[in-house]
Structure 1
């Protein structure tokens, strides 16, 4: 499986030489539905977890189930199967059967949430050999990311835990890890996906640039998108051209620049050593935005341009992860020591 980002529509570092020193390498992960093994880098796949190491649980205070009815990982998978089956039928037959509707109504009704610690769900497993942008601590070559499938009071994203390890030192493998008896957000269950890591070059969004350079780039963007068609992604927003298509790539990625959206950029400082932290992993709700296709891999462009009657899955949401209202969860790591606690923001 290969995914190739098209050449950028413009060489912005040549147009604006001040951007050159700000270039960063990002690794787009390009998750796509598949059947990963424990030896694969993956999103939502099985983890190479030592059988001698307890599976992590969250014992925090979870958001009350009456806010959003709880369900279970098994029911979420069943609901996705039913929806996929229905939407893959001819347009005139895209309705639930009576049996399917009964199952959907049962799942939507939810069920009581049991008390006690909640088993974490696998989010991503990344081998350094496949994702060279990772900065592991000494002796480690594997990063595993898990999260709690419930929100917590005052939080608007899943609470993550990161584990670095040496794959060769794992020994016996836990073959049947526990799953949470309940989960609150269906978008917190990643669909198993294989990865096709690809390194690209990114530049910071205009909100992170000096004001004068920001103004120059926005004026240039307006000229590039002058005459945007009514109803297009750039009608009345021509100044966003650089940010959307030349700066920060969409989708799951390691490294690069942060995809700031509804908040202003804020430097994240390590709680241990106070070092400025750097973007490590972007967990994305979407791989690309409707109407903005320059980041769409060459191998996916035919599917992205196909008719609404195309058979799912939706190429923009391969992992079926949703953070808030289709935002990103940005994980930051300490460049001085990867073992220091990470932090995360919704962007």
Structure 2
């Protein structure tokens, strides 16, 4: 993609006001998916995968009829014309990321490509789409699968991402306020400290300055690699590798929009004119809605990305 996207500079240098945040800085790469026609040789969201012709396509083998029974148990309304598919369902491409574009990725061995797929159904017990990760060496794929199977059934069309090209941009993130120590949170709640930053701080946040940090300075919205977790639906929950018990780290955040009313200060300069016009296409190019508007964050083991990954909705 020839267009670049630039996150506006943060209104204050937060580590100058709160030096204890400096060691907690983490790099993240905003993917900035935008409508396009990616090929299998491009990084993309919802685009075609560089999938070997001789490798079986992944299927979701979970019993989809159990999803129907779960909805009935909780008396969730389901369109009467919707037909539940009980058998294995081909998984749907969600993202393809080349290390050349996303250098934060730490692939195993000689791999230089990450492929993410999911089943376009929300499965029990936590009603989220099951995901599959594949690391591979692009140089070893000499014969690309020409016609991958599409899903036999889709619970919500928002679980089939519209093809998007990417314009990766590296930024710096800081933890969600809920992940900070009590002492540091007390400092964030001290408005006099913020006043020291001068006119850069929005005075309307004086009654709740910690919210200013959370909205303007800690985590960027949208699709991204790395960074911190967007807690909110739950308190922070440590994630541990099931293979080696190492603390897991965020790999990919799959979001339901690039911005909303509370995160408009993160809108890239290049999008600000169109953002003023509103509209779902501008704020959510892939058209994805995770669990009615939340985030799905994938975690991997820092010791070995080949260990089983896990996911969490926030």
TM-score normalized by the length of structure 1: 0.82
Q: Could you tell me which of 12, 18, 21 is aligned with 1:19? A: 21
Return the match for 1:161 from 93, 108, 132.
Answer: 132
The residue that corresponds to 2:296 in the other structure is 329
Question: How many angstroms apart in 1 are the aligned matches of 2:244 and 2:185?
Answer: 32
Question: Which string of whole-angstrom CA distances, capped at 9 and with x for unpartnered residues, describes residues 23-71 of structure 1?
Answer: 110000001111111111000000000000000001112211876798x
1:6 alignment counterpart: 8
Conserved in 2, the CA contact under 8 Å of 1:123 and 1:146?
yes
Structure 2 Cα separation of the partners of residues 314 and 114 of structure 1: 30
CA RMSD between the two structures: 2.0
- Superposed displacement of residue 291, structure 1: 4.8
Bigger CA drift: 155-164 or 215-224? Answer: 215-224
Per the alignment, residue 262 of structure 1 pairs with 233
Task: Output the CA distance in 1 between the equivalents of 2:63 and 2:288.
Answer: 22
**Secondary structure of the equivalent of 2:311?**
strand
Do the aligned partners of 1:218 and 1:242 also contact (CA within 8 Å) in 2?
Answer: no
Out of 284, 295, 304, the position equivalent to 2:266 is: 295
Query: 1:259–1:291: structure 2 CA closer, same or farther, 3 Å change rule?
Result: closer
Residue in 2 that maps onto 1:78: none
Alignment of 1:316 with 2:283, yes or no, is yes
Q: Residue 181 of structure 1 aligns with which residue?
A: 152
After TM superposition, list the pairs within 5 Å mapping 1:108-147 onto structure 2.
110-147=81-118
Which deviations, in whole Å up to 9, do the C-alpha atoms of 1:168-221 show, x marking residues without a partner? 101111111001121112221111111000000111111111111112113339
CA contact (8 A) 2:215 2:262 kept: no
CA distance in 2, matches of 1:112, 1:325: 20
Q: How does 1:207-226 map to 2 (within 5 A)?
A: 207-220=178-191, 224-226=201-203
Q: Is the alpha carbon distance of 1:207 and 1:56 closer, same or farther for their aligned partners in structure 2, counting shifts above 3 Å?
A: same
Answer yes or no: is the 8 Å Cα contact 1:287–1:317 preserved in 2: yes
Partner of 2:49: 47
Provide the residue aligned with 1:32 in structure 2: 34
Q: Shift of the alpha carbon at 1:153?
A: 2.3
Contact conserved, 1:280 with 1:332, CA < 8 A, in 2?
Answer: yes
Give SS of 1:294's match: helix
Long gaps (5+) in structure 2 = 196-200
Cα drift, residue 244 of structure 1: 1.1
Q: Structure 2 matches for 1:70-89, cutoff 5 A? A: none
SS for the counterpart of 1:37 is coil
SS at match of 2:190: helix
Structure 1 contact 69–110 (Cα < 8 Å) conserved: no
What's the counterpart of residue 63 of structure 2?
A: 61
> Per the alignment, do residues 21 and 235 of structure 1 end up closer, same or farther by CA in structure 2, a change over 3 Å counting?
closer
Cα distance in 1 for partners of 2:94, 2:207 equals 37
Q: Which residue of 2 aligns with 1:339?
A: 306
